[in-house]
Chains A and B, each alone.
Chain A
Amino acid sequence: SQKIEQNSEALNIQEGKTATLTCNYTNYSPAYLQWYRQDPGRGPVFLLLIRENEKEKRKERLKVTFDTTLKQSLFHITASQPADSATYLCALDMRSGYSTLTFGKGTMLLVSP
Chain B
Amino acid sequence: ETGVTQSPTHLIKTRGQQVTLRCSSQSGHNTVSWYQQALGQGPQFIFQYYREEENGRGNFPPRFSGLQFPNYSSELNVNALELDDSALYLCASSTRTGLNTGELFFGEGSRLTVL
Contact = CB atoms under 8 A, between A and B. Distances in A.
Interface in A25-60: 32, 34, 36, 41-46, 49
A43 B102 contact: no
Given A99-B94, A103-B42, A34 B106 contact: no
A73 to B, nearest CB: 14
A100 interface: yes
A98 B48 contact: yes
A39 B103 CA distance: 18
A97 B106 contact: no
Interface residues of B, number: 30
B7 to A, nearest CB: 14
6 contacts: A46-B104, A89-B43, A91-B42, A99-B94, A99-B102, A100-B58
B45 A45 contact: no
Interface string B73-101: 00000000000000000101010100011
A98 B109 CA distance: 21
Contact of B102 (A4, A44, A97): A97
A55 B14 CA distance: 49
Interface of B: 2, 4, 31, 33, 35, 40-45, 48, 55-56, 58, 90, 92, 94, 96, 100-109, 111
A18 interface: no
B30 to A, nearest CB: 12
A104 B104 contact: no
Given A98-B56, A98-B96, A105 B42 contact: yes
A106 B38 CA distance: 12
Given A98-B56, A99-B33, A99-B94, A46 B105 contact: yes
Contacts of B105: 46
A42 B37 CA distance: 11
A44 B111 CA distance: 14
A46 B2 CA distance: 10
Nearest to A100: B56
